[in-house]
Amino acid sequence: MAEVKLIGKLPSPFVYRVIWALKIKGIPYEFIEEDLTNKNPLLKYNPVHKKVPVLLHGEKTVCESMIIVEYIDETWQQNSLLPNDPYERALARFWVKFAEDKVVSVWRMFGAIGEELEKTMKETEEMLQTVEEHGLGEKKFFGGDNIGIADIAFGSVIYWLEVIEEAVGVRVISEAHKFPRLHAWIKNFKQVPIIQESLPDWDWMVAFCKGRREAVLASA
Protein backbone atom coordinates (compact mmCIF):
# COMPACT_ATOMS: atom_id res chain seq x y z
CA MET A 1 0.00 0.00 0.00
CA ALA A 2 1.43 3.36 -1.05
CA GLU A 3 2.69 5.69 1.68
CA VAL A 4 0.48 8.51 2.92
CA LYS A 5 1.99 11.83 3.93
CA LEU A 6 0.19 14.95 5.08
CA ILE A 7 1.92 18.28 4.62
CA GLY A 8 0.47 20.79 7.03
CA LYS A 9 0.95 23.35 9.72
CA LEU A 10 -0.67 23.03 13.13
CA PRO A 11 -3.02 24.26 14.37
CA SER A 12 -4.57 25.00 10.96
CA PRO A 13 -8.26 24.04 11.12
CA PHE A 14 -8.03 22.91 7.47
CA VAL A 15 -5.21 20.50 8.32
CA TYR A 16 -7.23 19.09 11.23
CA ARG A 17 -10.07 18.15 8.89
CA VAL A 18 -7.70 15.84 7.02
CA ILE A 19 -6.18 14.46 10.25
CA TRP A 20 -9.68 13.56 11.47
CA ALA A 21 -10.56 11.82 8.20
CA LEU A 22 -7.32 9.81 8.25
CA LYS A 23 -7.81 8.80 11.88
CA ILE A 24 -11.48 7.83 11.38
CA LYS A 25 -10.41 5.55 8.54
CA GLY A 26 -7.47 4.21 10.55
CA ILE A 27 -4.94 5.18 7.89
CA PRO A 28 -1.32 5.43 9.03
CA TYR A 29 0.36 8.57 7.77
CA GLU A 30 3.44 10.68 8.22
CA PHE A 31 2.87 14.32 9.18
CA ILE A 32 5.27 16.78 7.63
CA GLU A 33 5.21 20.15 9.32
CA GLU A 34 5.42 22.84 6.69
CA ASP A 35 7.43 25.94 7.34
CA LEU A 36 5.03 28.52 5.91
CA THR A 37 7.68 31.20 5.83
CA ASN A 38 9.64 29.14 3.35
CA LYS A 39 7.16 28.06 0.73
CA ASN A 40 9.48 26.38 -1.71
CA PRO A 41 8.40 22.77 -1.06
CA LEU A 42 4.76 23.90 -1.27
CA LEU A 43 5.38 25.36 -4.69
CA LYS A 44 6.23 21.84 -5.87
CA TYR A 45 3.14 20.16 -4.41
CA ASN A 46 0.52 22.90 -4.62
CA PRO A 47 1.69 25.32 -7.31
CA VAL A 48 -1.79 26.74 -7.88
CA HIS A 49 -2.74 27.79 -4.34
CA LYS A 50 0.54 27.37 -2.39
CA LYS A 51 -1.37 26.32 0.72
CA VAL A 52 -1.61 23.53 3.23
CA PRO A 53 -2.94 20.91 3.69
CA VAL A 54 -1.55 18.78 0.88
CA LEU A 55 -1.98 15.00 0.88
CA LEU A 56 0.68 12.87 -0.77
CA HIS A 57 -0.46 9.33 -1.53
CA GLY A 58 2.39 7.54 -3.26
CA GLU A 59 2.92 9.55 -6.42
CA LYS A 60 -0.40 11.37 -6.12
CA THR A 61 -0.91 14.88 -4.77
CA VAL A 62 -4.29 16.11 -3.54
CA CYS A 63 -5.01 19.69 -2.42
CA GLU A 64 -7.88 21.56 -0.70
CA SER A 65 -8.99 20.13 2.66
CA MET A 66 -12.49 18.93 1.79
CA ILE A 67 -11.41 17.59 -1.62
CA ILE A 68 -8.73 15.62 0.26
CA VAL A 69 -11.40 14.35 2.69
CA GLU A 70 -13.60 13.11 -0.18
CA TYR A 71 -10.56 11.51 -1.83
CA ILE A 72 -9.77 9.70 1.44
CA ASP A 73 -13.40 8.57 1.70
CA GLU A 74 -13.45 7.20 -1.85
CA THR A 75 -10.04 5.52 -1.65
CA TRP A 76 -10.50 3.83 1.72
CA GLN A 77 -14.05 2.55 2.02
CA GLN A 78 -14.24 1.60 5.71
CA ASN A 79 -16.09 3.97 8.10
CA SER A 80 -17.83 5.85 5.33
CA LEU A 81 -17.94 9.64 5.65
CA LEU A 82 -20.70 10.07 3.08
CA PRO A 83 -24.14 8.39 2.99
CA ASN A 84 -24.94 5.94 0.19
CA ASP A 85 -28.08 7.70 -1.01
CA PRO A 86 -27.38 10.36 -3.69
CA TYR A 87 -29.88 12.85 -2.19
CA GLU A 88 -28.33 12.57 1.29
CA ARG A 89 -24.89 12.91 -0.31
CA ALA A 90 -26.00 16.12 -2.06
CA LEU A 91 -27.22 17.49 1.29
CA ALA A 92 -23.89 16.64 2.97
CA ARG A 93 -21.97 18.34 0.15
CA PHE A 94 -24.28 21.36 0.39
CA TRP A 95 -23.33 21.89 4.04
CA VAL A 96 -19.65 21.31 3.30
CA LYS A 97 -19.83 24.07 0.66
CA PHE A 98 -21.66 26.30 3.13
CA ALA A 99 -18.91 25.69 5.69
CA GLU A 100 -16.31 26.60 3.06
CA ASP A 101 -18.03 29.69 1.62
CA LYS A 102 -19.75 31.29 4.59
CA VAL A 103 -17.29 30.91 7.44
CA VAL A 104 -14.82 33.51 6.19
CA SER A 105 -16.30 35.88 8.79
CA VAL A 106 -14.98 33.58 11.54
CA TRP A 107 -11.40 33.88 10.33
CA ARG A 108 -11.83 37.64 9.87
CA MET A 109 -12.99 38.00 13.51
CA PHE A 110 -9.56 36.84 14.52
CA GLY A 111 -7.76 39.96 13.28
CA ALA A 112 -10.56 42.51 13.63
CA ILE A 113 -11.24 45.32 16.09
CA GLY A 114 -13.89 47.97 16.59
CA GLU A 115 -16.40 48.34 13.77
CA GLU A 116 -14.84 45.59 11.69
CA LEU A 117 -15.11 43.21 14.66
CA GLU A 118 -18.78 44.13 15.15
CA LYS A 119 -19.43 43.47 11.48
CA THR A 120 -17.71 40.09 11.40
CA MET A 121 -19.47 39.05 14.63
CA LYS A 122 -22.83 39.88 13.08
CA GLU A 123 -21.99 37.92 9.91
CA THR A 124 -20.85 34.97 12.01
CA GLU A 125 -24.06 35.09 14.04
CA GLU A 126 -26.17 35.07 10.87
CA MET A 127 -24.19 32.14 9.52
CA LEU A 128 -24.71 30.21 12.76
CA GLN A 129 -28.45 31.03 12.74
CA THR A 130 -28.75 29.54 9.27
CA VAL A 131 -27.03 26.33 10.34
CA GLU A 132 -29.10 26.22 13.54
CA GLU A 133 -32.35 26.58 11.61
CA HIS A 134 -31.68 24.52 8.49
CA GLY A 135 -28.63 22.34 8.95
CA LEU A 136 -29.08 19.74 11.65
CA GLY A 137 -32.77 19.12 12.11
CA GLU A 138 -33.22 16.54 14.84
CA LYS A 139 -30.09 14.59 13.93
CA LYS A 140 -27.23 14.01 16.33
CA PHE A 141 -24.70 14.83 13.62
CA PHE A 142 -24.95 16.23 10.09
CA GLY A 143 -24.05 12.70 9.06
CA GLY A 144 -26.84 11.14 11.16
CA ASP A 145 -25.75 8.81 13.97
CA ASN A 146 -22.08 9.02 13.02
CA ILE A 147 -19.96 11.96 11.94
CA GLY A 148 -19.57 12.60 8.24
CA ILE A 149 -17.97 15.13 5.91
CA ALA A 150 -20.21 18.03 6.98
CA ASP A 151 -19.39 17.42 10.65
CA ILE A 152 -15.68 17.39 9.76
CA ALA A 153 -16.05 20.60 7.75
CA PHE A 154 -17.91 22.42 10.55
CA GLY A 155 -16.07 20.80 13.44
CA SER A 156 -12.83 22.66 12.79
CA VAL A 157 -14.72 25.94 12.24
CA ILE A 158 -16.80 25.81 15.43
CA TYR A 159 -14.00 24.68 17.73
CA TRP A 160 -11.73 27.40 16.35
CA LEU A 161 -14.57 29.93 16.69
CA GLU A 162 -14.89 29.06 20.39
CA VAL A 163 -11.14 29.57 20.80
CA ILE A 164 -11.17 32.84 18.86
CA GLU A 165 -14.05 34.15 21.01
CA GLU A 166 -12.09 33.34 24.17
CA ALA A 167 -8.94 34.97 22.80
CA VAL A 168 -10.71 38.09 21.47
CA GLY A 169 -13.09 38.38 24.43
CA VAL A 170 -16.39 38.27 22.55
CA ARG A 171 -19.42 36.01 22.56
CA VAL A 172 -21.17 34.67 19.48
CA ILE A 173 -21.39 30.85 19.53
CA SER A 174 -20.86 31.08 23.30
CA GLU A 175 -24.44 32.40 23.57
CA ALA A 176 -25.67 28.82 23.99
CA HIS A 177 -29.33 29.77 24.45
CA LYS A 178 -29.37 31.18 20.91
CA PHE A 179 -28.03 27.97 19.35
CA PRO A 180 -29.37 24.93 21.26
CA ARG A 181 -29.00 22.50 18.35
CA LEU A 182 -25.47 23.64 17.52
CA HIS A 183 -24.48 23.37 21.15
CA ALA A 184 -25.79 19.85 21.42
CA TRP A 185 -23.93 19.04 18.22
CA ILE A 186 -20.60 20.54 19.41
CA LYS A 187 -20.85 18.60 22.65
CA ASN A 188 -21.47 15.35 20.78
CA PHE A 189 -18.77 16.10 18.24
CA LYS A 190 -16.11 16.66 20.91
CA GLN A 191 -17.09 13.41 22.62
CA VAL A 192 -16.37 11.29 19.55
CA PRO A 193 -13.24 9.39 20.70
CA ILE A 194 -11.15 10.16 17.61
CA ILE A 195 -12.00 13.87 17.87
CA GLN A 196 -11.51 13.96 21.63
CA GLU A 197 -8.04 12.52 21.42
CA SER A 198 -6.89 14.70 18.53
CA LEU A 199 -8.36 18.14 19.33
CA PRO A 200 -5.54 20.52 20.18
CA ASP A 201 -5.34 21.52 23.85
CA TRP A 202 -7.75 24.38 24.67
CA ASP A 203 -5.37 26.48 26.81
CA TRP A 204 -2.58 26.13 24.27
CA MET A 205 -4.96 27.14 21.46
CA VAL A 206 -6.24 30.23 23.32
CA ALA A 207 -2.69 31.33 24.13
CA PHE A 208 -1.65 30.70 20.51
CA CYS A 209 -4.62 32.71 19.21
CA LYS A 210 -3.99 35.59 21.58
CA GLY A 211 -0.34 35.73 20.52
CA ARG A 212 -1.17 35.62 16.82
CA ARG A 213 -3.91 38.25 17.16
CA GLU A 214 -1.50 40.61 18.94
CA ALA A 215 1.00 40.15 16.13
CA VAL A 216 -1.65 40.75 13.45
CA LEU A 217 -3.00 43.88 15.13
CA ALA A 218 0.51 45.23 15.74
CA SER A 219 1.38 44.96 12.07
CA ALA A 220 -1.89 46.53 10.91
Partner 1 sequence: MANEVVLLDLKVSPFAARVRIALEEKGIKYESREEDLSNKSSVLLKMNPVHQQIPVLIHNGRPICESMIIVQYIDEVWNHKSPLLPSDPYRRAHARFWADYIDKKIYPIGRNLWASKGEIKESSKKDLIECFKILERELGDKPYFGGETFGYVDLALVPFYSFFYTFETLGNLSMVAECPKLVEWGEKCLEKESVSNTLSDQQKVYEAILQIKKELGVE
List residues near partner 1 by CB under 8 A. 48, 57, 60, 62-64, 67-68, 70-71, 74-75, 86-87, 89-90, 93-94, 97-98, 130, 134
* Nearest approach, Cβ of residue 100 and partner 1 (Å): 9
- Complex with partner 1: residue 86 or 169, whichever CB lies closer: 86
Q: 60-63 and 4-8 as β-strands: parallel, antiparallel, unpaired?
A: unpaired
- Complex with partner 1: residue 24 or 209, whichever CB lies closer: 24
In the sheet that holds 60-63, the strands lie side by side as 30-33, 4-8, 54-57, 60-63
H or E stretch covering 56: strand 54-57
* Nearest approach, Cβ of residue 156 and partner 1 (Å): 18
* Nearest approach, Cβ of residue 218 and partner 1 (Å): 28
Tell me the one-letter amino acid at 92: A
Give the whole-angstrom CA distance, residue 42 versus residue 36.
Answer: 9
* Nearest approach, Cβ of residue 75 and partner 1 (Å): 5
Cα–Cα nearest to 19, from 152, 143, 141: 152
With DSSP H G I counted as helix, E B as strand and the rest as coil, what are the percentages for the chain, rounded to 5? 60, 10, 30
- Complex with partner 1: residue 130 or 174, whichever CB lies closer: 130
- Complex with partner 1: residue 73 or 151, whichever CB lies closer: 73
Give the C-alpha distances (Å, rounded to integers) separating 122 from 72, 73, 126, 170, 176: 35, 35, 6, 12, 16
* Nearest approach, Cβ of residue 62 and partner 1 (Å): 5
- Complex with partner 1: residue 153 or 168, whichever CB lies closer: 153
Tell me the one-letter amino acid at 34: E
* Nearest approach, Cβ of residue 193 and partner 1 (Å): 26
What are the φ/ψ torsions at residue 58 (nearest 5 degrees)? Answer: 60, -120
Give the whole-angstrom CA distance, residue 161 versus residue 169.
Answer: 12
- Complex with partner 1: residue 64 or 165, whichever CB lies closer: 64
